């Protein structure tokens, strides 16, 4: 499957330098492929070996170049590149005229924006209930929600809402009577 996003999604707060170098760009594209697949598995579960385009359409704004996938990849890329593995262990590479700074606030902002976008996507899919997908429509509760690889399975609360924990965010959605449980 081709990547849903590319290096053009990494601008503004998600800017990654050095992507004009072909070697760096090729490595970054491999990183996108690995962590995009990881994100999609966490976002939609393992029922679909290939995510239907009807679902991915909720994740990618190709006009504005915004996607929660980009935020996820950015955070993973930053985590991965904080140090370099050498023959004598993990090291920080020092470059001239640079200072190491604490990037936790910036990574946390990117992660929190991703969590908010994820909540919007799940809320939209939950509201739709059944998502048109050619001859095999997708039922959000039965085909996605119950198949997520969550540490905590979805909970139906007494007030008739569904609560899930995903990417560190807790999403609650009003339970619809017409869904099968």
pLDDT digits (tens, 9 = 90+) for 31-75: 999 999 999 988 888 777 678 888 888 999 999 999 999 999 999
Give the start-to-end residue ranges of the domains of the chain: 7-174
Q: How many Cα atoms occupy the beta-carbon half-sphere of 53 within 13 Å?
A: 3
pLDDT band at 179; cut points 50, 70, 90: very low
What average pLDDT does the structure give for the chain?
A: 81
pTM exceeds 0.85, yes or no: no
The kind and range of the H/E element at 163 are strand 161-166
User: CA angle 101-108-41, nearest 5°?
Assistant: 125
In this prediction, what percent of the chain has a pLDDT beyond 70? 71
The kind and range of the H/E element at 156 are strand 155-156
* CB-neighbour burial class of residue 134 (10 A; exposed 0-12, middle 13-18, buried 19+): exposed
């Amino acid at each position: 499957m081709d990547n849903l996003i590319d290096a053009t999604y990494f601008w503004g707060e998600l800017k990654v330098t050095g992507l004009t170098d072909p070697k760096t760009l090729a490595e970054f594209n491999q990183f996108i492929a690995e962590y995009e697949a990881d994100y999609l598995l966490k976002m939609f579960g393992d029922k679909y070996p290939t995510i239907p385009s009807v679902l991915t359409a909720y994740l990618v704004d190709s006009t504005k170049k915004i996607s929660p996938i980009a935020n996820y990849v950015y955070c993973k890329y930053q985590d991965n590149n904080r140090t370099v593995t050498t023959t004598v262990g993990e090291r920080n590479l020092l470059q001239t005229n640079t200072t190491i700074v604490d990037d936790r606030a910036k990574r946390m902002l990117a992660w929190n924006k991703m969590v908010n976008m994820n909540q919007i996507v799940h809320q939209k899919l939950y509201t739709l209930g059944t998502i048109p997908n050619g001859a095999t429509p997708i039922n959000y509760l039965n085909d996605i929600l119950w198949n997520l690889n969550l540490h905590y399975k979805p909970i139906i609360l007494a007030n008739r809402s569904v609560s899930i924990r995903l990417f560190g965010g807790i999403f609650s959605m009003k339970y619809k009577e017409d869904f099968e449980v």
